[in-house]
Structures are given as C-alpha cells and as structure tokens.
Structure 1
Amino acid sequence: MEIAQQVTKALENIEAQLAAFSTKADMEAKFGEVSAETKAAIENFGIKQREFADHLLEIEQKGTAPPPEGEKIETWGEQFVKNARYADFAGGHLNKLRVEVKNTLTGADATVAPDRKPGVVSGAFLPFSMESLIPATTTTSNAIEFTKESSFTNSAAEAAEGAAKGESALTWSLVNMPVSTVAHWIKISKQLASDNTALAAYVNTRMAYGVNQKVDVQLVVGDGTPPNISGTYDAGNYTAHGYANAALGSTLKKLVLIRKIMADLYAAGYPADAIVLNPADWATIEIELFTTAAGQTLYNVSSSGQPYLFGLPVIQSIGMAADTFQVGAFKQAYMIHNREGVVVEMSDSDSDNFTKNLITLRAERRLALATEKPAAVRGGDLTPA
C-alpha cells in the first residue's frame, strides 16, 4: 500500500504541472501562437501521467487478485537427495545420513470416491465329502422300498458219489425308506432383489449350499427318525468292527485297526473303497504317519490333493463324530435316491410380506439314503476299550 500511495502522489504532482502548462498554453494562444517548448512539455507530462496511471491500476489489480499458490511441498525423496551432505553419503564418505524431512501428508480428501469392487466376498463353503462318495439315482415316489438279503448260509462242500449234498439258506427282508425333506428359508427386501442382482444371486447360492451342507451331515449321522435321513452311522446301517484295544498291539493302534478291518471286509467279499474319518482324527493319524518311519510308507497324496491310506481315499466328514470312523465298500452298501434336487423358490405372499415389500426365499431338497448292504461297511470306536 505504501508504493501505491507514492505513485498516487507522483501522479497528482504531474497533473498539477500539466494543469499549469495548459494555462500557459491558453495565455500564449491569446497573444498569438503556443510555443514549441510549451507543446513539448504538455505532451511529455501527458505521457508520464498515462504511465503512472497504468502503474497504479496494476498495483490495485494485484491487491484484489488471489494469493499465489504456496511453495510446492517436496516429497521425502526429493528432500533427501537435495540435502547438502547427500553427495558425501552417496560417494561412500559417510556411513549414515540423517535428514529431517517435512511431513507431506496434510489431510485426507473426503471427496475421493472409493474403488468399489464387484461381486460379494463369500463365506466358508465346505466340500460335500459324503455325497461325492455314495452313488445316486432318482426316484418319483415319496418312499423307497426294496428287498435285500438278510442272511446267506453257504453250505457248499465236496460230496462223495451218492452222498447227500449240503443245503444252503437265504433269507430276505423288505425295506421301506421314506423320502426326507431338508429345507430352510430367509427373507429379503424386494428392493434388494431388484436393485442388487449380484447380492440376490449370492443369497440363492448360499441357500442352496445350506441345504446340501446339511444333507452331507445327515448322510452320516441322520438317525432315521422322521423327518431325518437314516445315515451310514445309524444303527443297523453298518457292522460294528468288534475289535478290542488289546488286539491292536502297542503302537500306531488306529492304523492297525483300520488295516485289520480292511482285511476282514476283503475276506467277506466287500473290498473297501474308502475310509471316513472326522477331520480332527485324520489330523492325528496324519501326524503319526509323518513322525513314524514305518508310517510314512503307508500314506500318499494324489496330484489333486486327495490323501490315501493303505491305497484307499480318506474322506474327511464333519458329520462323523470325533473318535468314530467307518471303513467299507460304500458304493456297494448305499444308494442316494433323489426325489428333488435343491429348489429355491420365492414368494411375496408369506405373512405380511406384501405390505412390507419383502420376499421369502425357501430352499429345499427331497431325498432318501437306502442302506442295501450294511455288512459292506464296518466301523465304531477309533480307540476301542
């Protein structure tokens, strides 16, 4: 502001001198002709007046203009390499260099839009281990009925000429197995179903998974009391192994038990095709295999990650209770009969859905597990008394 005042004062002085020479020019004009000296002086003062006026305007404009941008904040790296001692450090003349740098983080911009990723991050999805082990077929009825062999007495023997031959015996029984329903439901808003198709599709997937995951557990531990499935470990659907602790030696008893059962099944005409264990029990056995020199030769893993013990695939099932197991010819012993696959349906007519813009999703599946040869699978306590 001090410079502007000085310019203004100089401009006023020029204007005063210009006014004086203008009066002189008027007097000279009355007596004849304006002298060249007066004309030159007036012209010179006019030029100075315009220059100072322009200078004053420039000052005033600078006073109303926005302030210049602040000094560019250098990055930490730029500040580091510009340090006076950096060259000595880079040349190996200093072992270490300490440089104080200015923090370049001055705040977060709340207006920056987040990078929203598509889809939904899913929760846990367990593999359906039992269903992949047991063969399946379809049915159009609400119950499965079949005739199965109950017992066979094989009296075949060598016979002398004219002697009586041995008489064998067969008995059968009629088995009726009802079809069970496994289902659940959830409510979502109609707006969600319409506006977020990815999330709605994920809900459908999760509902179907929930049904199949429950089925996979029921295929082992279902007790057969309606509406439960009669699972592989239900009484009468397998044969107890019958071994006591004393018969298993002193080391690697779980492995000895499994191998003895495999031999018994083979002798009975049911070569085993799988071993079913609780995941915790398999972990215990696997650790024993890795820490015992003799055990390492009994175990391998396929390229797909499927573990094998004594040449049989090990199926880890969360339905199998801890410290229990089964070994057997599962493909001979059981058959899944699917009445309906997983069906996901929706309705806005449930309860007060219509007035609240809600939709009820229901997922259900109908099936039965038929045990055709309980002698083909043996199991029980993994650590018998």
Structure 2
Amino acid sequence: MSDNPNPNPEATPEADPADANRFHTLEAVKEELGRLFDEARPEGAKSFDMDRITSVKGTRRQKLAYVEALNERAAVLKARERLSGGSVGYESGHAQGDLGGWGSGSGTARGKLSTREHSRAWAQEAAQALTKSLGGRSGVKALTSGSVDTVGMVRTGLYTLPTNPARLLDLLVDRRSIPGNEFEYLRQTVRTNNAAATPDSTTKPTSVFTVASIQDRARVYAHLSQPVPLRLLADHRELEPFLTAEMERGVLDALEADIVSGATGGENVVGLLEVSGTTATAFSSDVAQTLRKALTASQVAHEAPNGWVIHPTDAEGLDTLLTADGSYVGASAAGPVGSFSYKNVFGDIPVLVSTSVPAGTTLLGDWTQATLYVREETRLDVDTSGPDLFDKNLAKFRAEGRFGFAVNRPSAFRVVDLTA
C-alpha cells in the first residue's frame, strides 16, 4: 500500500489485507481508515460507496477485506498497548467528539471514553460503516441477482501443514493460483538413487530421476440450491450464512472426493487411487498391523510421510479393537480415562478421519508432493429473476469454483488395503 493519500491512479496498488500490518500505531490505522472513509463518502455525499475508493484497486470484496484487516490491526495494537501499559497520545479531530461529522448518532466513539478507547472505537466504527456500503454484512453484498462474495476457504500459496487437519484440503499445503483454465506440471516417473562412494579417476554412478510434463485443466465444481423465499432471508439473518456455508462445503466435499478417487461423468480427474506410480500395502493379519507395516514400508523407501487419511468406519474399528482380556488395544494408561494412543501405529504423523477415502482404504503420504491449482475460488451466485423466481419472490443460489489437482511424485503416496 502507498503512504501517499492521493496516489497516482496509474500506480495504484492492489488492496491487500496483509498491508494492514505495516501500520504500527492506532493513530496510523485511524488515519488510514479516515482516508478511506473520506473517499467512500466524499463531502456532500449521503451514503458510503466502496467503489469510490481509488487509492487502492481491486474488487469491492478486496477493498472490504483491507478495511476489515485494518480494524483487526487496530484490535491487535489496542491489546498490545493494554498489556504494556502504554497509551496512545493523539488529539485528531476524528478521535474527538463527532468523528469528523460521521456517525453522529453513535455513542460508541464518544462520551467518557479514554483517548486510547476513542482510537479503538473509531477504527471499529469506521470499518463497520464502510462494511455497510456492501449491504451491511461482512463479505456479502446486498442480496440481488449476481454474485455474493464469500469468505474463501481455499487460500493459495505455500502453507505449513496443520497439526490437526480438519479436512483433506488442509493437507495440500501447496496451492497455486492459475491465470487460465489450463496448467502444466512435472510428475516424477522414475526415482533411482545410485549415489555411492567412488575411487579417484573412476566414473561416477548415474542416478535416474525422470519427470514427465503433464498437461491438465481446472474443473468446475458446482451445485444449486432449491428456491428460497426472499421473506425468509429477510426475516432470518442466519439463513444466508447457513446456506453459504452448506453450499461451499458441498463444493469442497466433491473436490476432495475427486482428489482421492477421481471424477466420473466425463471430467476425467485422475485421483490418488488412480494415478500410476503410487505404492501399495496389502492387508496383513489385522488393521493395526497393516497400518504399521505401511509406515515401515514408507520409511524404508526413504519417504517422509506427513499425513494419514482414514475412513471413519476404519477408525472406529481400530478404536474398538479388544485384547484377550477385553481391554481396548488402544487404551492409553498414561492418558486420561477413555483416551486412546496409537502412536506405535501412526507415529507422530497427523491422522485425518474423512469420508473422502473409501471404507477399507487408507492413504499415507507426503502431501507436499501434490498441488492444488485454483482458477476460481468458491463463490456464491444468486438469481431472483425470471417468472419462476421474480414473480414468486424467490431466490436460487449456485455455489461454484474451478480447481485442478496434480500428483507431482506418486511414489510419495501409499495406498493401504484394510480389508481382509
């Protein structure tokens, strides 16, 4: 972000929430919010309009995300100063009294608040007022035909694998945004390491690391809602975020299923269970022993697996294994009553219980060796037009995103058969 309050439009930067961290005082955050406020509602204007903000570029959603990040930054600075016993000393007009003519009906930023509280309240009210220009709900436009911005669930970039992944997508730490529908990646097909100690003046051994160039494309993942009466959306504020969350989750569930098993219906997504070059572990005696042998085989192959994915019914079968005397095999004497410990089976590797894998099959892999490509983040489209909707005062939602998946080194993944 530029420090210049009136930057050259030709050089205007993109709105980036991360840029909020460059402000180191509440005063600086307040001034930045004030500048955006003045742009969103210039002198004489009766309402806020995010599109009037020209000092940062991007969509209305991107600008709003930046405003909200500034508000969060103010909260962090407020907490930091409170812990350190510091204070914020500024006497600008916005922090005193009427917020520069804005929010005169609000008591949250005036009255008997301290100067520091003025700063926090001013920043919060600034963000809230600018948010209202998008329909009054954070990250969501007013409900009309068109697109409803949603909080993205699939971020792009390289991320650290979470300690307790909540879903399969959490294991895919390499996520890349692509400018078009097609993408190209390299897949390793041969991995033969022949490195060895060699005497002087002798030919060094040759290792074979072969890769193939793979051309692929992103696929559209989408579904529709049933028609929803607009009256219900107006009367129940929780209905819209509920529908948004449900429909986004449906898209991501379908994507995860294809990442594992591949797509049907002509889209030809190659999943982990279909790609050539993965390794396999056959069933051996019981589930616990089979899983442990899979880990051993991966270690012997010099792999570094960082995530298990197991179906809920298989996890249940493991947790209910009994010894000859009727005790649970996985019961941990060192832990609290009812706790289970299978560290001797899974090692220190996170275990994700998910229906993305079919029952009777478990995946163990180094998930850094796969990539998720994102062409379009999940979005929600709304339609209220046409005789079937407009005449009946109904709305229909469509959740949609475009994603691609690549297995860069299939040998890093092991398919474990848990069926006797």
TM range (shorter): 0.5 to 0.7
CA positional deviation for 1:296: 4.5
Alignment size in residue pairs:
248
Give how far 1:314 is off.
1.8
Q: Deviations over 1:294-347 (max 9, x none)?
A: 75469989xx999853322221111211111111212x2212222222211112
Q: State the alpha-carbon separation in 2 of the partners of residues 342 and 349 from structure 1.
A: 22
Structure 1 counterpart SS, 2:321: helix
Question: Matches of 1:198 and 1:204 in 2, distance apart?
Answer: 10
1:16 corresponds in structure 2 to: none
Residue aligning to 2:418: 382
2:388 matched to which residue of 1? 352
User: Which residue does the alignment assign to 2:204?
Assistant: 165
Corresponding residue for residue 238 of structure 2: 198
Aligned to 1:46: none
Is the contact made by 2:330 and 2:341 (CA closer than 8 Å) also made in structure 1?
Answer: no
CA separation of 1:287 and 1:213: change in aligned 2, threshold 3 A: same
Q: Secondary structure at the match of 2:247?
A: helix
Distance in 2 (alpha carbons) for counterparts of 1:221 and 1:377: 14
**Corresponding residue number in structure 2 for 1:233:** 273
Q: Distance in 1 between matches of 2:411 and 2:265?
A: 22
Assess if the C-alpha contact under 8 Å between 1:184 and 1:362 holds in 2.
yes
Q: Does 1:189 align with 2:199?
A: no
What residue in structure 2 maps to residue 27 of structure 1? none
Please state if 1:132 is matched with 2:170.
yes
Question: Is residue 2:363 matched to residue 1:326?
Answer: yes
Q: 2:182 aligns with which of 140, 143, 166?
A: 143
TM-score (norm 2): 0.52
The verdict on how the C-alpha distance between 1:158 and 1:197 changes in structure 2, with shifts beyond 3 A counting, is closer
Could you list the runs of 5+ residues in structure 1 that have no partner in the other structure? 1-126
Cα distance in 1 for residues equivalent to 2:334 and 2:405 = 31
Q: Superposition pairs for residues 175-324 of structure 1, below 5 Å?
A: 175-186=214-225, 187-223=227-263, 226-227=266-267, 229-236=269-276, 238-241=278-281, 243=282, 248=284, 253-288=286-321, 295-296=330-331, 309-324=346-361
Judge conservation of contact 1:338–1:366 (CA < 8 Å) in 2: yes
Q: Matched residues in 2 for 1:137 and 1:300: separation?
A: 41
Call closer, same or farther: CA 1:238–1:256 in 2, change over 3 Å: same
How far off is 1:353 after superposition?
Answer: 2.4
Cα RMSD over matched residues? 3.3
CA–CA separation in structure 2 for the residues paired with 1:340 and 1:156 = 43
AA matched with 1:257: T
Shift of 1:128: 5.0
Aligned to 2:119: none
Contact 1:350/1:360, CA 8 A, preserved across alignment: no
Q: Residue in 2 aligned with 1:339?
A: 375
TM norm structure 1? 0.56
Give yes or no for contact 2:319–2:328 (8 Å, CA) kept in 1.
Answer: no
Deviation at 1:165, TM superposition (A): 3.2
Distance in 1 between the 2:334 and 2:320 partners?
A: 11
Question: Matches of 1:277 and 1:182 in 2, distance apart?
Answer: 24
Report if the CA contact (8 A) 1:276-1:314 is conserved: yes
Q: Check 1:173–1:349 CA distance in 2 against 1; reply closer, same or farther (3 A cut).
A: same
1:179 CA drift (Å): 0.7
Larger Rg: 1
> 1:197, 1:160 → 2: CA distance?
76
**1:361 — aligned with what?**
397
Q: What is the CA–CA distance in structure 2 between the aligned matches of 1:176 and 1:299, rounded to whole Å? A: 51
Residue type of the alignment partner of 2:252: N
